[in-house]
Amino acid sequence: MPNHMSAERATKRANKSHRRRWIAPVVIVGVLLAVYLGGVAVFSFVFMPHTTLDGADVSLKTASAVGSQKSDAVAALQTHVTGNGVDLTVFGSDIDLTCDGASYARSALTQVSAWAWPVEVTRTHDLSAEAGVSFDHDKLAALLAPAMDESRQAASEDSGDVISYDSSSASFALDDRVIAQYLDVDAVAGVLSTAFAQHAASVVLGDECLSTGGSIEDAVAQANAYVQAATTLTLADQDVYNVTADQIAGWVTIADDLSVSLDTDAIATWCHGELSELLDTVGAERTYTRPDGVVETVNDGSAAFGASVYGWLIDGETAADELAAAIQAGQPTTLALPTLQEAAQVNPGGQDWGTRYIDVDIPAQHIYFYDNGTLIWDADTVTGQPSLNRGTPTGVWTVTNRLSGNINLTGPVNAETNEPEWDSHVQFWMGVVRNIVGFHNAPWRSTFGGQIYTWNGSHGCINLSYADGQSLYDLIQVGDVVVIHN
């Protein structure tokens, strides 16, 4: 019996020892599970350590606290609004601005799993969430109304254009004085909703906030395409004029319906007018230096025989068409100007003929024939008598014809006698002013030069001795330039 009791007690002691061995782990697991579940519960409404939300530190803050803070911050927001003729500060209190801070905080909180908190608490979290804001649209419209009304008033009083040109930037842009009348309040509200949600201190209203934004944007783009087409005009491969953005802007027309066009009539007027005055040299005054160093000025004077013939003449009509096409292409380019007549060189206001020419110096009563800067012939002369309105026509001309032999020069028919006013026979004729005035020998004269022309001058022709007439005839060619000046 004693042995049996001893065995039973030994068994009981063994069972108690076994129970103590598995109770400890169960307790530990239970504690850990309780801690874990507690953490899940906590981080289901508290943000993890090392967490920022839209840049603000929310570590270990409750979602409700963060939500309340967000709602208060949004309500107190103020944003400076500019663009499209608007310049005002919108306060959240002015438009009853509110925010669902609770949803905002919950949305951010769920971005990190509370069930993974043992790992997540060791990490850094930079969170962002959408903060749905709302406000009274009517109150926003009331804030915008003054700017819109002022814009309409400016457009009415000043005939302001929605799109205007700024020479400092060489471009067209919306005119803030009148653009506000096209504001789309709903579109502005959408932009401000985003700005308020992001706590933006300022916002610039763009084309998306205009009721005709697409049309205006297209018009600005089209107008600027024109002014970007700066064009260099050339004559004889030489740059002679730069058509600038400022000049092109003056030819751009923007209608009330925002259609953009190029005023081709204005371009034609400019080509026929200002451009022709600048580049056309036929009949224009020109100053030049003769090879002997004397500076002379030639012009058409009284132009009793019509404008002189030598020089540049641009084709204004074709030039206008080509310039308009170049601008409409919208790219900078170089345009060779079409011409009706060309000269030897481009030199507005100066010598545009070549180095071979005949210079008739009326005051000196002397003629010089230069070729490549070398004097190849010269002679005294007698020109037209100015006191009888028979002065030799000045200007830049060319030799039209040359004849030799027995040449009969007759004047206009006298109505009383029915006979020519003069009938002269010469041996050499070289026409200059059409076939009316020219060089010829004058057998009836024995002396030339000096002041003879003032009291016994010709009827307008350029008189020479027989020998000088013959030698000039041998040198001269049809097309040679003749410069006649006082």
Average pLDDT of the chain is 90
Name the active-site residue from 125, 440, 459, 485.
Answer: 440
Q: Are 344 and 354 in contact (CB under 8 A)?
A: yes
For residue 100, the 8-state DSSP code is -
Pairing of strands 437-441, 462-464: parallel
The torsion region of residue 373 among left (phi > 0), alpha (psi -120 to 50) and beta comes to left
Cα-Cα-Cα-Cα torsion 172, 174, 176, 181, nearest 10 degrees, comes to 150
Tens-place pLDDT, residues 52-107: 998 899 999 998 999 899 888 888 889 999 988 889 999 989 999 998 889 998 99
What is the CATH code of the structural domain delimited by 226-350?
Answer: 3.10.20.800
Tens-place pLDDT, residues 325-384: 999 999 999 999 999 999 999 999 999 999 999 999 999 999 999 999 999 999 999 999
Q: Which residues contact 212 (CB under 8 A, 6 or more apart)?
A: 182, 258
Q: Are 258 and 216 in contact (CB under 8 A)?
A: yes
pLDDT band at 115 (very low <50, low <70, confident <90, very high): very high
What is the CATH code of the structural domain delimited by 355-486?
Answer: 2.40.440.10
* CA–CA distance, 358 with 377 (Å, rounded to integer): 9
Residue-wise burial string across 421-436, b where 16 or more C-beta atoms lie within 10 A, e elsewhere: eeebebbbbbbbbeee
- pLDDT given at position 14: 59
Tens-place pLDDT, residues 222-244: 999 999 999 999 999 999 999 99
Tens-place pLDDT, residues 152-183: 777 666 545 778 899 999 999 877 777 788 88
Report the SS3 class of residue 433.
strand
- Residue identified by tokens 């985003």 is 194
Q: Are 428 and 473 in contact (CB under 8 A)?
A: yes
Q: Which residues contact 8 (CB under 8 A, 6 or more apart)?
A: none
- pLDDT given at position 25: 74
CB atoms within 10 A of CB 142: 13
Cα-Cα-Cα-Cα torsion 244, 248, 250, 256, nearest 10 degrees, comes to -150
* CA–CA distance, 429 with 372 (Å, rounded to integer): 25
Q: Is 272 a catalytic residue?
A: no
- pLDDT given at position 38: 87
Name the active-site residue from 99, 209, 271, 461.
Answer: 461
What does pTM read for this prediction? 0.67
Cα-Cα-Cα-Cα torsion 211, 216, 217, 219, nearest 10 degrees, comes to 160
Q: Is 461 a catalytic residue?
A: yes
CB atoms within 10 A of CB 164: 17
The residue ranges of every structural domain in the chain are 226-350, 355-486
